[in-house]
Structure 1
Amino acid sequence: MVRNSAVKGGFSKYQEGIGKRGEEIQHINPRRSTNQDLTNQEVNKIIQLKPNSFPVGIDVENPFMYPISEAQLPTAECPTGTIPILCNNRQENISTKNTDAIVTSQQQEVAGIKYFDDIYGTQATINIYEPMVKHHWDLSGSWIQIENGPDVIGAGSWVSPSFSGDSFARFHISWRDEVQNKSCNNHKCPGFVQVSSSVVLGGRIQPVSVYNGPQYAIKFLIFKDPKTENWWLVYGEEKTAIGYWPSSQFSYMKEMASKALWGGYVQGPTASEDSPQMGSGHFASEGYGKAAFVRDIQVVNDDNMRVIPNPVKADPGSTNRRKYTYEYYGHNPNGMHVYYGGPGSYS
């Protein structure tokens, strides 16, 4: 999660297994409660299984002429009525207190586009790389995020050895709400209601992009269900639902978000001084195939329509242009686009 400038419920283990990428998975039934698994969450007795409607927009034939393939979110085959919980990396051993500290109390640099408006959701396609990180506590993310005051919702890819136990690009979600009053990730604390029986939060994303080689990306959509007011996360061209954040846990973002961010960020105890790579590890000016991008950026308005962001309200930039740059390359009928990233302190 960029600093502001789960099934919700007690779970009982259903069974254990191995995910499609060899990672150890627990299959959890969100409707059963032992108050022993995960974070002793209370059962969310009424689960919304799918959005009542999706934001409407015009998707034209993509004028982005460069070849891009879809990266695959991590999945596991779970029995009906259960969800996959990753349990074979450091995520299960890191407390929510420490996770919160990673987000809120360490050095951070950001490059991409900030956007200010009344926002009811956002859709964007994120280029997936595995940037190099210098230190154990470093994190480098490719990210989309919406927020209002202290309330924040975000999703994307992280490389974070301290959180994941390795240096792979992994799929993560993160949020901050009035109920928890701290930053939360994946299933480490209550707040996210997962409805997908296959997507593994914290699992490895594959394939990843190669500098001057094949490029892979994932489309994410975060939006507010007009009927329930829950904030949904879906992905891919088919808009597959992963889950939602109940609106009841937000105060400032109960109605709408006021800010969005698309791009990359790094953080860690020395992230501003001895910095990890961001994006592809190369500057934005190198362009397609060499610099990371976020493309087809859209926002959802109060009519539940996906629209192109107003360029006047967009603020592309970088907090440290010596180490990370951005190239805002405008928009087309599918939305805004931006290149971002850099080598950090790597030569």
Structure 2
Amino acid sequence: MKPFSSGSLLRVLLMLRTVEIMVGLLALVCIALSSGMVDGGRSIQPLETEDIQVEKKLKLLNNPFVKSIQSEDGDVIDCVDIYKQPAFDHPLLKNHTIKVSPSFVPTNGDTSASSIMNSSLPFSQVWHKSGSCPNGTIPIRRILRQHLLNASSLERYGKKPMNIITKCDFHILDYTFALGIQHYHSTAALIASGFSYTGAKADINVWNPPVEADDEYTTGQMTLTSGPFNNSDTIEVGWMVNPSVYGDRRTRLFIYWTNDSGKSSGCFDLLCPGFVQVNKDVLLGGAIEPTSSYYGQQYVIPLEVVKDFEQDVWWLITRNETDTLTIGYWPCDMFISMYHIAEMLMWGGDVYSPRMHTGRHTATAMGSGHFSSEHWSMASYIKQPRMRDYSMTYKYPYPSSPFTLEVDCYSAENYAEVLFTEPLFYYGGPGRNLYCP
């Protein structure tokens, strides 16, 4: 056997030293990976657990409160200082001074309607039985852990699910208008278009329709919108049954807004900054009780959204049996196309399901769950829909037209009990049925 030369021995020793160094480095990497990844000398901790993410989201959504109220329906209502409400987290509202009331006198209800149109009662909210918020505060529904765990997406909690917007054409008189309908939605509505609208109002009949799955919802609402159908400004107000936001199947008062068709901006109620609430007695997202019953007593939410040109805001207004109540407003700076006016108005119902148009239809109902042809006390209705233009007076929306996306699942109809009198707009349906499989 040939003996090692001094050069060969040196090379072997260097190889052994290299192996030793590599083993040491591997050991250090293992230690680093067990405690956190190494990146440029900085330790990056492992991905946050769901519990940590939920806790951070709760801290972001819930504001410090002056008083807390436990409602009999299970909700916790926090009375939050009016200047510490979520709206003031928006960059455009950092130095905002709250508007206490509109610069004009809000209109009262129309008492000239027929007797059948005046035989419904204003709504009330469950939490009022358990207490009230003090002056200088507003009521905000506390978001609990189970609300977030029940949501389809923690990141988009409080927002509408993302989906494609489809262009639908509808006709009023001899004109054709484009309407943007989100792909997983079905709509039955009375639509007015072709004018510059500075306000809209109506009494919206309140029901508690069944919702088939936790990730679906149904509404009765009024909508103002403007801009391209795939990048529009929108305000929606009315009632909603939405398990993924509220954690139950109660009927609740809701508002919604966006300035980009819901891609990134906007939310329901006060779940993001934007809407400035001034009323201490109306709870956005609060449960409504009682609701209308089939062939029984009917209840309505009187709602109005109107532009205040002097203050540059869109006011949200409601009424009870004796008074007009200003709930709050959206500063016009929140919007782009709807800074000055709205271009389209809609009154009616909307059903959302991620399984819409993908096979078996959802059994989530719209309105009362009965078709519009059943009429008074059986079908859901919109009473006294009104539009306001630059004349600053409210008028019946003419021209307008009923629009239904799926006539076998949900329907819409303008119907007057007495010839040549103002019609009620009826809408709704059961969803899945013999003709809507």
The verdict on a shared fold, with TM-score over 0.5 as the criterion, is yes
**Counterpart residue number, 2:337:** 252
Q: Secondary structure of 1:259's match?
A: strand
Please give the alpha-carbon distance, in whole angstroms, between the structure 2 residues aligned to 1:103 and 1:331: 41
**Counterpart residue number, 2:236:** 154
Counterpart mapping for 1:68-79 below 5 A: 68-73=120-125, 75=128, 77-79=132-134
- TM-score of the pair, normalised by structure 2: 0.70
**Counterpart residue number, 2:53:** none
**Counterpart residue number, 1:28:** 80
Give the share of equivalent positions with the same residue, in percent: 27
Residue among 181, 184, 187 paired with 1:110: 187
Query: CA deviation digits over 1:244-296, x for unaligned, max 9?
Result: 00011111001100001100010021134422110010110001010000010
Matched AA of 1:51: P
8 A contact 2:67–2:133 mirrored in 1? no
Query: Residue 53 of structure 1: CA displacement?
Result: 0.8
Residue among 158, 164, 177 paired with 2:246: 164
Residue among 224, 227, 230 paired with 2:313: 230
Query: CA deviation digits over 1:88-138, x for unaligned, max 9?
Result: 555566556244342645610000211102111101010000111111111
Runs of at least 4 residues off by over 6 Å: 331-335
Query: Residue 180 of structure 1: CA displacement?
Result: 8.6
Task: Please state if 1:84 is matched with 2:139.
Answer: yes
**How big is the alpha-carbon RMSD for the aligned residues of Structure 1 and Structure 2?**
2.9
**Counterpart residue number, 1:206:** 289
In the superposition, relative to structure 1, how do residues 44 and 12 fare at CA in structure 2: closer, same or farther (>3 Å)? farther
5+ long unaligned stretches in structure 2: 1-60, 165-182
8 A contact 1:57–1:305 mirrored in 2? no
**Counterpart residue number, 1:130:** 208
**Counterpart residue number, 1:269:** 354
**Counterpart residue number, 1:240:** 325
In the superposition, relative to structure 1, how do residues 97 and 21 fare at CA in structure 2: closer, same or farther (>3 Å)? closer
286-295 vs 100-109, which deviates more?
Answer: 100-109
5+ long unaligned stretches in structure 1: 1-8
Please give the alpha-carbon distance, in whole angstroms, between the structure 2 residues aligned to 1:334 and 1:206: 31
The structure whose residues are more often helix, as a share, is: 2
Task: Please state if 1:325 is matched with 2:408.
Answer: no
Q: Secondary structure of 1:189's match?
A: coil
8 A contact 2:266–2:272 mirrored in 1? no
8 A contact 1:226–1:304 mirrored in 2? no
Please give the alpha-carbon distance, in whole angstroms, between the structure 2 residues aligned to 1:258 and 1:182: 20
21-30 vs 49-58, which deviates more?
Answer: 49-58
8 A contact 1:11–1:30 mirrored in 2? no
**Counterpart residue number, 1:3:** none
Residue among 200, 213, 218 paired with 1:140: 218
Q: Secondary structure of 2:66's match?
A: strand
Q: Secondary structure of 2:295's match?
A: coil
- TM-score of the pair, normalised by structure 1: 0.87
8 A contact 1:137–1:161 mirrored in 2? yes
8 A contact 1:55–1:306 mirrored in 2? no
Higher relative contact order (CA 8 A, sep 6+): 1
Please give the alpha-carbon distance, in whole angstroms, between the structure 1 residues aligned to 2:155 and 2:276: 17
Query: Residue 61 of structure 1: CA displacement?
Result: 2.9
**Counterpart residue number, 1:298:** 386
Query: Residue 79 of structure 1: CA displacement?
Result: 1.6
24-33 vs 166-175, which deviates more?
Answer: 24-33
Q: Secondary structure of 1:221's match?
A: strand
Please give the alpha-carbon distance, in whole angstroms, between the structure 2 residues aligned to 1:203 and 1:10: 16
Query: Residue 65 of structure 1: CA displacement?
Result: 2.0
Please give the alpha-carbon distance, in whole angstroms, between the structure 1 residues aligned to 2:429 and 2:211: 12
Query: CA deviation digits over 1:10-55, x for unaligned, max 9?
Result: 954223222475521111113248xxx7995564530001111145
Query: Residue 221 of structure 1: CA displacement?
Result: 0.6
Task: Please state if 1:14 is matched with 2:92.
Answer: no
In the superposition, relative to structure 1, how do residues 58 and 243 fare at CA in structure 2: closer, same or farther (>3 Å)? closer
Query: Residue 154 of structure 1: CA displacement?
Result: 0.9
Please give the alpha-carbon distance, in whole angstroms, between the structure 1 residues aligned to 2:282 and 2:304: 15
In the superposition, relative to structure 1, how do residues 96 and 200 fare at CA in structure 2: closer, same or farther (>3 Å)? farther
Please give the alpha-carbon distance, in whole angstroms, between the structure 1 residues aligned to 2:402 and 2:341: 22
Query: CA deviation digits over 1:293-337, x for unaligned, max 9?
Result: 001010111132111211xx3121210001111111269999663
Please give the alpha-carbon distance, in whole angstroms, between the structure 2 residues aligned to 1:82 and 1:343: 40
Matched AA of 2:124: Q
Q: Secondary structure of 1:136's match?
A: coil
Please give the alpha-carbon distance, in whole angstroms, between the structure 2 residues aligned to 1:264 and 1:183: 20
Task: Please state if 1:314 is matched with 2:400.
Answer: yes
Query: Residue 87 of structure 1: CA displacement?
Result: 1.2
Please give the alpha-carbon distance, in whole angstroms, between the structure 1 residues aligned to 2:299 and 2:233: 30
Task: Please state if 1:177 is matched with 2:263.
Answer: no
**Counterpart residue number, 2:301:** 218
8 A contact 1:212–1:289 mirrored in 2? yes
176-185 vs 254-263, which deviates more?
Answer: 176-185
8 A contact 2:125–2:288 mirrored in 1? yes
